[in-house]
Amino acid sequence: MTKDTRKIWDRQDEEEYSGETFNPAADRMKEILTPEDLAELLGISVWTVYAKTSKRNREQISFDLPPFFRMGKLIRFWRRDLVSWLESREKIDPNKP
């Protein structure tokens, strides 16, 4: 067992002792956004998110979205992809004509 692994197990033992459980999968799930989360963060309608991720309507809507993935029928977005997508967007200077 490595030193880092031992720290994780020690943390797990402490959290179980304090009544909390250590669940790395639950922490990782916090990084996944639903279409509703994305719509709220971007200030757009949920319908726009679903329409843009639909195979049928993808080309008809001129609005771009961050990369997404499917879990069965569900559409999800990684928070890190959203952040990098936002950083890659062109910054608009309101003072430029």
Q: What is the pLDDT of residue 31?
A: 87
Q: What is the pLDDT of residue 22?
A: 60
Q: Is residue 67 part of a domain?
A: yes
Q: Is residue 94 part of a domain?
A: no
Predicted confidence (pLDDT) at residue 6 exceeds the cutoff of 90: no
Please give the residue range of the domain that contains residue 40: 27-88
Q: Is residue 7 part of a domain?
A: no
Lowest mean pLDDT across 33-42, 66-75, 84-93: 84-93
What are the beta bridge partners of residue 32?
78
Question: How far is Cα of residue 38 from the mean position of the Cα atoms in its chain?
Answer: 8
Number of folded domains that form the chain: 1
Q: What is the pLDDT of residue 23?
A: 61
Q: What is the pLDDT of residue 45?
A: 92
Q: Is residue 56 part of a domain?
A: yes
Distance in angstroms (rounded) separating the CA atoms of residues 77 and 68? 5
Q: Is residue 17 part of a domain?
A: no
Q: Is residue 60 part of a domain?
A: yes
Q: Is residue 16 part of a domain?
A: no
The pTM of the full predicted model, rounded to 2 decimals, is 0.61
Q: Is residue 96 part of a domain?
A: no
